[in-house]
């Protein structure tokens, strides 16, 4: 990616998402537009059930909107099929989830190597080892997720998300399952990596401290998005 | 390459972590079971053929009423086969003071090619092996020795030649095949034939050419010569000549096929559950992989690679294990199996991996295809949305596997019936399981403390899983019940179809005015009364007015029946060992009706209602076919192809035939009968009976040995079926513990579910086993149709005992675990 801060990595225009429930159409998101540029950090806050996770799914191309358009790295997502969107994610996007979502049969190191192996990249082992050292887990390389604490699991997830050098990282409540101390550590790491790699961050969170650290904060209420701070 | 390596690592770790253990184990047992049954069945089949060949004293025999052309012998030698030949002819045997008509047989120095001769020599010792009389010697059976009043070492005369009686003939390997000779037997060396001067032109001799060698070479030679055999010569196989042995072999094949089918069904059911569990647990990891950018094709490729590797490795290992298991089973069933049973056919080694692949494709493809459609957004949702998977393929795979095992039965009509029966059972069990779910829902609506209602409700909470579980569990239990209870019934019934007192002696040419004295001799000797039937010799002239010509039939037996006279008899009531399969038995007033044996009618194209014309002693008898019967030829009772009412045949019956059982100690009684009534001819079939009994016993043992493996598969199904809901049960229990449920309450909940499930599946399984057993007895073993009404009750009790017992480890874990450990694991 270019270092030019003006490069737009994500653009959403007039997004809407409806679902059909027992014959009735329920509108979850209406007319949402936002842009994210290289190196930005964007927080989306809102109460439970306001549609934050649904919006994240649409922005990351995990799901498709009922109407409107998402353009990721200049590619309109509607023009790609599911596999095309998967390939785009593989090359450019990282994810961090509230419930960590590590592969339980794989060690910490293997979990971090996974995206590199999937992309067919070389030096996966060295790069994954370096990244785990970077998040402070050099001594936990061969540990399985079940032997790690919540904070450690989330740090492995951060390493996995950043190891491929993504241009854009989506995080869904990254501190939601962590205690205050672990949460603070993870937030610190997240922004350090954001700065080091110039990765744009899009976070969905309840955590006021986390939202506070972001450059832009949007609030989602009753399916509508409003800028709270920019 | 790197992606493949990542996939491999993932699969390997899954295996190590235990996620794939159940699936791998189920696959291993499935393949081991099916392939060991296939290996074993093949060996038994080959062994039986070998055993049968021993009864031919060769691998193939050609029987002829004229000397066989030397070109035939030459072609057999050129084909690398060993050749032997004998001549059999009737002639008088004389001693200084007596004369007797005997059936003489001249055998060469390489006789027998297969099987063993049993003879008592002058030293009193019995020799068993490839023995034959030396030139100048003769061996006679006890009947001839009794008639001539001679002992070993005495001399006797055949035509111009004097021979020394050097042995008492106890058993010729192919003696039974040589037509249960009505006459006493004498064996001598072929080198002496010419010197007797008996085998001149016009002699009523039978020539027998015997060959042996590699099965492929024998088969090829048979195909080559069959078409150009001279008139009056025919290839003889043991199955043609010995209907009772053929019947035993057919039954054994069917029994083995049935066992293989049950094992395959069980193993497939276990696999279906294991696959479902494995892939259901992959939903969330797949969603993560989708987020990380794996395409649908790559997801399919990943799991296809994992499963393909599993199929090949599991299939290969299972096949190897199956080979070992069959060797062990063969060792248990047949003490010297290593020597007497040939090794299984090589191509069967491929059966294991092939059936593993078939199973995995059929069972795993639908869920794998469903994984391909896992939305990446599923990673953000706690609840995984239920997805329907292609429901058609798994039953298809199971049915294909069953078909594969039924192929061993060599009877597609029967296999089709069983296949249809199993499909019907799956449908009925599925329907019944759905009713159970509805019933559980209704039952669980009552209010009250957490207890048995909550357990019963567990089934209603996971309806489709409950249906799958009930079908799999009940199939497993049904197979176990069939193999424990029904198997014993069937095997006993099979053994009893040839009871210890089955007639081993036949007497022909008995006259009506001799019956009273004849019976009196039995009474005096304190022997049970013989079964006596009248006989009339008849020839079938026309069917519906059209003359019958042997040439119009392709079937050899039909040709024989159309071309010669055979025995007819009359009866007031259907004979005991017969079963009416079409039409009705006649009233006592009937005069112009016939009852035919079903297979004979089929071979000759005769149907119910056809008008038959018989020539009996010069009189034409015309009547309609009013009933068809199946005849238990293996019962050794007096059986007839054609029966008529008393009024039609009573006045035309020329003589009577009697059948009776003589214990070994009273064998001399038959000779006393023949001496008392000079016109009688007695035939001793006890050797044949012993051989058939031995075959049945051996086969029954083999079937019982296979049962052990089926039992393993059954236990695995129980484990898999209960394991299928293990995670859900643990999670439920953890939540309930967290909410304050006591251990006692949890125990009640789980026990209630297991008891309810066990009772219901047991009832289903018992009913299924009852029907399967009745069907197996009726169609497979040709026994009278009989239902064991106790089986459903037994099934209910077994289910209520076995299912909770199998679920005991789960119960312990549910009660002992800390709620935190389970909730954290989730």
The ipTM of this complex is 0.76
Q: CB atoms < 10 A from the CB of B71, how many?
A: 10
Q: What is the pLDDT of residue A103?
A: 79
CA distance B177 to B492: 28
Query: Residues for chain B: how many in total?
Result: 826
Of B9, B291, B382, the CB nearest to A95: B291
Torsion sign across C-alpha atoms B276, B278, B281, B287: negative
Nearest chain A Cα to B295, which residue?
A: A83
Contact A105 B19 (CB under 8 A): yes
pLDDT of residue B797: 92
Rounded Cα distance between B500 and B692, Å, is 12
Q: Inform me whether the pLDDT recorded for B1 exceeds 80.
A: no
User: DSSP letter string over A126-173?
Assistant: HHHHHHHHHTT-GGGTT--GGGS-HHHHHHHHHHHHHTT--SEEEEES
| Among candidates A82, A117, A146 on the partner chain, residue whose Cβ is nearest the Cβ of B296 | A82
Domain assignment present for residue A111? The answer is yes
Helix (H) or strand (E) holding B27: helix B21-56
Chain A, nearest residue to B6 by Cα: A117
List chain B residues with CB under 8 Å of A91.
Answer: 293
- Residue B27's closest CA among B285, B307, B232, B294? B307
| pLDDT tier for residue B166 given thresholds of 50, 70 and 90 | very high
What is the C-alpha R_g of chain B?
34
Q: What is the pLDDT at residue B154? A: 93
Residue B451: pLDDT over 90: no
Query: B565: helix, coil or strand?
Result: coil
> CATH code at A141?
3.40.50.300
The structure tokens 């794998």 sit at B368
DSSP one-letter string for B729-788: HHHHHHHHHHTT--HHHHHHHHHHHHHHHHHHHHHHHHHHHHHHHHHIIIIIS-PPP---
Q: Searching chain B, which residue's CA lies closest to the CA of residue A149?
A: B824
Least confident interval from A62-76, B95-109, B445-459, B464-478: B445-459
Nearest-neighbour CA in chain A from B798: distance (Å):
39
**What's the pLDDT score for residue A169?**
93
The two three-digit tokens of residue B47, written as one number: 């062994």
Question: When comparing pLDDT for B636 and A130, which is higher?
Answer: A130
Residues of B within an 8 Å Cβ radius of A = 1-3, 5-6, 9-10, 13-14, 16-17, 19, 284-285, 287-298, 375-377, 379-382, 825
The shortest C-alpha distance from B285 to chain A (Å) reads 6
Q: What is the mean pLDDT of residues B224-241?
A: 71
Label residues B197-210 b or e (16+ Cβ within 10 Å = b): ebbeeeeebbbbbb
CA distance A141 to chain B (A): 16
B285·A97 Cβ contact <8 A? no
CA proximity to B167, closest of B183, B189, B147: B189
pLDDT of residue B369: 79
pLDDT at A2: 44
3 state DSSP class of B239: helix
The runs of H, that is alpha helices, within B334-382 are 337-340, 351-372
Burial bucket for residue B537 (CB in 10 Å: 0-12, 13-18, 19+): middle
Task: Spell out the residues 6+ positions from residue B719 whose beta carbon is closer than 8 angstroms to its own.
Answer: B22, B270, B806
Nearest CB among A86, A104, A105 relative to B290 is that of: A86
Q: CB distance B295–A63 less than 8 Å?
A: no
Alpha-carbon dihedral B52, B58, B62, B67, rounded to 10 degrees: -150
> Confidence band (pLDDT; 50, 70, 90) for B806?
confident
Q: Do B2 and A121 touch (CB under 8 A)?
A: yes
Report the distance separating Cα B804 and Cα B808, nearest Å: 6
Pairing of β A168-172 and β A200-205: parallel
- Between A104 and B569, name the one with better pLDDT: B569
What does the block give as tokens for B689? 């009976």
Per-residue pLDDT tens over the stretch B715-725: 777 777 777 67
Please give, rounded to a whole number of angstroms, the shortest distance from the CA of A85 to a CA of chain B. Answer: 8
In this predicted model, what pLDDT tens digit does every residue of B410-441 receive, in sequence order?
A: 667 777 777 788 788 888 988 998 888 888 77
In a domain, A138, yes or no: yes
Contact A90 B2 (CB under 8 A): no
In the structure encoding, which two tokens stand for residue A46, read together?
């809102």
**pLDDT for B222 beyond 80:** yes
Q: Is B510 helix (H, G, I), strand (E, B) or coil?
A: strand
Mean pLDDT of A177-191: 84
Nearest to B274 by CA among B26, B93, B554: B26
Which residues of chain B are within 8 Å of residue A62 when distances are taken between CB atoms? Answer: 290-291, 375-377, 379-380
Tokens at B486, concatenated: 């029904």
Residues 63-102 of chain A whose Cβ lies under 8 A from any Cβ of chain B: 63, 82-83, 86-91, 93, 95, 97, 99, 101
pLDDT for residue B239: 53
What's the token pair of residue A207? 């955590």
**For residue A4, is pLDDT > 60?**
no
pLDDT exceeds cutoff 80 at B253: no
pLDDT at B826: 47
Share of chain B above pLDDT 90, in %: 9
Chain B CB contacts of A116 below 8 Å? 2
Q: Which sequence spans correspond to the domains of chain B? A: 1-57+244-410, 82-212, 418-501+686-826, 529-660
Interface A:B, Cβ pairs < 8 A? 94
CB atoms within 10 A of CB B383: 6
Banded model confidence at residue B180, pLDDT cuts 50, 70, 90 = very low
For residue B2, the distance in angstroms to the closest alpha carbon of chain A comes to: 5
- The CA-CA-CA angle for residues B312, B316, B320, to 5°, reads 170
Lowest mean pLDDT segment, chosen from A202-216, B458-472, B524-538, B783-797? B458-472
- Say what the pLDDT of residue B385 is: 45
Contact A117 B13 (CB under 8 A): no
Give the mean model confidence (pLDDT) for residues B562-567: 74
Query: What CA–CA distance (Å, rounded) separates B179 from B65?
Result: 14
Closest Cβ–Cβ partner in B5, B6, B288 for A101: B288
**What is the rounded average pLDDT for all residues in chain B?**
78
pLDDT at residue A129, as a whole number: 94
DSSP assignment of B374-411 equals: --GGGGG-SSPPP-----SHHHHHHHHHHHHHHGGG--
Cα–Cα distance measured from residue B793 to residue B55, given in angstroms and rounded to the nearest whole number: 46
Round to whole Å and give the CA distance between B388 and B276: 12
Would you say B599 and B612 are in contact if contact means Cβ atoms under 8 Å apart? no
Q: Which residues of B485-515 are buried (b: 16+ CB within 10 A; e: fewer)?
A: bbbebbbeebeebbeeebbbbbbbbbeeebe
Predicted confidence (pLDDT) at residue B450 exceeds the cutoff of 60: no
Residue A117 in contact with residue A60, Cβ under 8 Å? no
CB B318 within 8 A of CB B352: yes
Rounded (to 5) percent helix, strand, coil in chain B: 60, 15, 25
Rg (CA), chain A: 17
Q: Which residues in chain A have their CB less than 8 angstroms from residue B382's CB?
A: 99
Contact A103 B288 (CB under 8 A): yes
Q: Nearest-CA distance from A3 to chain B in Å? A: 24
**Structure confidence at residue B819 (pLDDT):** 59
Tokens representing residue B708 in the block: 């052990």
Instruction: Give the number of other Cβ atoms within 10 Å of residue B650's Cβ.
Output: 12
From first CA to last CA, the distance across chain B in angstroms is 33
Q: Do B13 and A106 touch (CB under 8 A)?
A: yes
CB B300 within 8 A of CB B433: no
Whether residue B763 is predicted with pLDDT greater than 60 in this model: the reply is yes
Q: How far is A121 from chain B (nearest CA, A)?
A: 8
CA angle B546/B551/B553 to nearest 5° reads 80
How many separate domains does chain A show? 1
Residue B411: phi, psi to the nearest 5? -145, 95
Interface mutation target, options A58, A90, A103, A146, chain B, most CBs of B under 10 Å: A103
The enclosing H or E element of B552 equals none
pLDDT at B391 over 60: no
In the predicted structure, residue B825 carries a pLDDT above the cut 60: no
Task: Please state, in angstroms and rounded to a whole number, the distance separating the CA atoms of residues A131 and A140.
Answer: 12
Top residue of B291, B379, B826 to mutate, by most chain A CBs within 10 Å, is B291
Chain B residues touching residue A124 (CB < 8 angstroms): 2
* Biggest CA pair distance of chain A: 54
B258 vs A206, residue with greater confidence: A206
Per-residue pLDDT band for B116 (boundaries 50, 70, 90) equals confident
CA atoms within 13 A on the CB side of B470: 30
**Alpha helices by DSSP H, B577-685:** 598-604, 646-649, 668-676
Least-confidence region, from A197-201, B102-106, B256-260, B534-538? B256-260
Do B48 and B251 meet the contact criterion of CB atoms below 8 Å apart?
A: no
Residue B473 CA to residue B765 CA, distance in Å, equals 8
Is the pLDDT reported for residue B280 higher than 70?
yes
Determine whether the interchain pair A104/B17 forms a contact, defined as Cβ–Cβ distance below 8 Å: yes
Where is A95: in which H helix or E strand?
A: strand A93-96
Separation between Cα atoms, residue B398 and residue B404, nearest integer Å: 10
Structure tokens given for B229? 């055999």
Q: Could you tell me the sign of the dihedral formed by the alpha carbons of A75, A77, A80, A85, in that order? A: positive
Q: What is the mean pLDDT of residues A57-76?
A: 91
Alpha-carbon gap: A82 to the closest alpha carbon of chain B (Å): 7
pLDDT at A230: 67
């Amino acid at each position: 990616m270019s270092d030019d801060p003006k490069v737009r990595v994500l653009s959403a225009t007039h997004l809407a998402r409806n679902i059909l429930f027992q014959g009735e159409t329920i509108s979850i998101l209406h007319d949402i537009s936002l842009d994210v540029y290289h190196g930005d950090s964007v927080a989306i806050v809102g109460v439970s059930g306001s549609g934050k996770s649904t919006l994240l799914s649409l922005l990351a191309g995990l799901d498709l909107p009922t109407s409107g358009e998402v353009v990721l790295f200049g590619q309109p997502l509607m023009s790609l099929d599911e596999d095309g969107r998967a390939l785009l994610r593989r090359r450019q996007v990282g994810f961090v989830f509230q419930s960590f979502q590590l592969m339980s049969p794989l060690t910490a190191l293997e979990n971090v190597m996974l995206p590199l192996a999937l992309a067919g990249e070389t030096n996966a082992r060295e790069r994954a080892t370096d990244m785990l050292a970077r998040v402070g887990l050099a001594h936990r390389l061969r540990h399985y997720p079940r032997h790690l604490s919540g904070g450690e699991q989330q740090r492995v997830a951060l390493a996995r998300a950043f190891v491929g050098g993504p241009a854009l990282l989506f995080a869904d409540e990254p501190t939601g399952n962590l205690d205050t101390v672990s949460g603070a550590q993870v937030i610190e790491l997240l922004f350090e990596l954001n700065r080091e790699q110039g990765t744009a961050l899009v976070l969905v969170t309840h955590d006021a401290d986390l939202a506070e650290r972001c450059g832009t904060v949007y609030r989602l209420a009753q399916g509508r998005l409003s800028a709270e701070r920019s | 390459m790197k992606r493949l390596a990542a996939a491999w690592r993932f699969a390997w770790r899954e295996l190590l972590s235990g996620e794939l253990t159940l699936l791998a184990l189920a696959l291993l047992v499935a393949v081991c079971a099916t392939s060991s049954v296939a290996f074993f069945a093949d060996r038994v089949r080959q062994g039986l053929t070998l055993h049968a060949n021993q009864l031919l004293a060769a691998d193939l025999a050609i029987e002829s009423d004229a000397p066989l052309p030397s070109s035939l012998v030459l072609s057999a030698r050129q084909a690398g086969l060993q050749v032997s030949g004998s001549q059999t002819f009737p002639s008088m045997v004389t001693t200084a003071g007596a004369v007797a008509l005997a059936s003489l047989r001249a055998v060469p120095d390489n006789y027998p090619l297969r099987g063993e001769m049993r003879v008592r020599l002058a030293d009193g010792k019995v020799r068993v092996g490839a023995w034959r009389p030396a030139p100048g010697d003769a061996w006679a059976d006890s009947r001839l020795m009794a008639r001539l009043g001679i002992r070993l070492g005495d001399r006797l005369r055949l035509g111009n030649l004097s021979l020394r009686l050097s042995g008492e003939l106890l058993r010729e390997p192919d003696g039974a095949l040589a037509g249960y000779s009505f006459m006493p037997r004498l064996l001598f060396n072929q080198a002496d034939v010419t010197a007797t001067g008996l085998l001149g032109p016009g002699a009523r001799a039978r020539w027998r050419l015997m060959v042996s060698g590699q099965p492929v070479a024998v088969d090829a030679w048979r195909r080559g010569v069959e078409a150009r055999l001279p008139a009056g010569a025919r290839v003889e196989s043991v199955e043609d000549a010995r209907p009772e042995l053929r019947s035993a072999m057919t039954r054994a094949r069917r029994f083995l096929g049935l066992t293989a089918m049950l094992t395959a069904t069980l193993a497939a059911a276990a696999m279906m559950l294991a696959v479902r569990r494995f892939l259901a647990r992959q939903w969330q990891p797949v969603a993560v992989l989708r987020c990380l950018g794996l395409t649908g094709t790559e997801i399919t490729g990943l799991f296809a690679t994992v499963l393909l590797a599993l199929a090949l490795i599991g299939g290969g290992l299972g096949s190897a294990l199956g080979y070992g298991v069959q060797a062990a089973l063969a060792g248990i069933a047949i003490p010297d199996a290593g020597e007497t049973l040939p090794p299984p056919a090589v191509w069967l080694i491929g059966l294991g991996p092939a059936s593993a692949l078939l199973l995995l494709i059929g069972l795993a493809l639908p869920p794998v295809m469903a994984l391909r459609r896992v939305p990446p957004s599923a990673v953000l949702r706690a609840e995984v949305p239920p997805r329907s998977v292609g429901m058609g393929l798994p039953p298809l795979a199971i049915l294909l596997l069953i078909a594969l095992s039924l192929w061993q039965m060599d009877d597609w009509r029967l296999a089709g019936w069983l296949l249809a029966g199993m499909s019907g059972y799956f449908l009925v069990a599925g329907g019944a399981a759905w009713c159970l779910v509805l019933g559980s829902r209704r039952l669980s609506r009552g209010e009250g403390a957490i207890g048995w209602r909550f357990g019963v409700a567990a089934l209603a909470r996971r309806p489709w899983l409950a249906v799958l579980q009930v079908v799999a569990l009940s199939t497993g239990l049904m197979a176990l019940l069939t193999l424990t209870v029904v198997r014993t019934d069937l095997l006993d019934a099979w053994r009893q179809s040839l009871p210890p007192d089955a007639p081993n002696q036949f007497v022909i040419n008995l006259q009506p005015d001799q019956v009273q004295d004849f019976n009196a001799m039995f009474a005096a000797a304190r022997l049970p009364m013989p079964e006596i039937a009248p006989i009339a010799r008849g020839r079938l002239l026309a069917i519906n007015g059209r003359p019958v010509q042997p040439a119009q039939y392709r079937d050899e037996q039909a040709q024989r029946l159309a071309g010669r006279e055979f025995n007819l008899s009359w009866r007031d009531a259907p004979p005991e060992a017969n079963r009416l399969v079409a039409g009705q038995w006649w009233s006592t007033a009937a005069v112009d009706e016939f009852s035919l044996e079903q297979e004979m009618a089929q071979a000759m194209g005769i149907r119910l209602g056809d008008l038959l014309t018989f020539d009996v002693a010069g009189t034409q008898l015309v009547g309609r076919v009013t009933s068809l019967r199946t005849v238990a030829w293996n019962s050794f009772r007096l059986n007839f192809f054609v029966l008529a009412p008393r009024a039609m045949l009573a006045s035309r019956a020329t003589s009577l035939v009697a059948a009776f059982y003589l214990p070994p100690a009273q064998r001399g009684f038959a000779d006393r009968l023949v001496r008392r009534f000079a016109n009688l001819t007695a035939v001793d079939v006890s050797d044949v009976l012993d051989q058939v009994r031995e075959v049945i016993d051996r086969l029954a043992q083999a079937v019982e040995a296979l049962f052990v493996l089926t039992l393993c598969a059954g236990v695995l199904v129980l484990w898999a079926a209960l394991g299928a809901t293990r995670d859900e049960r643990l999670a439920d229990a953890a939540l309930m513990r967290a909410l304050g449920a006591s251990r006692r309450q949890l125990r009640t909940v789980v026990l209630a579910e297991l008891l309810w499930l066990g009772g219901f599946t047991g009832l289903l399984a018992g009913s299924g086993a009852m029907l399967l057993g009745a069907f197996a007895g009726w169609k497979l073993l040709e026994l009278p149709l009989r239902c064991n009404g106790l089986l459903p009750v037994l099934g209910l009790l077994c289910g209520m005992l076995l299912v909770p017992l199998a679920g005991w480890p789960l119960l312990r874990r549910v009660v002992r675990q800390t709620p935190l450990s389970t909730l954290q694991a989730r």
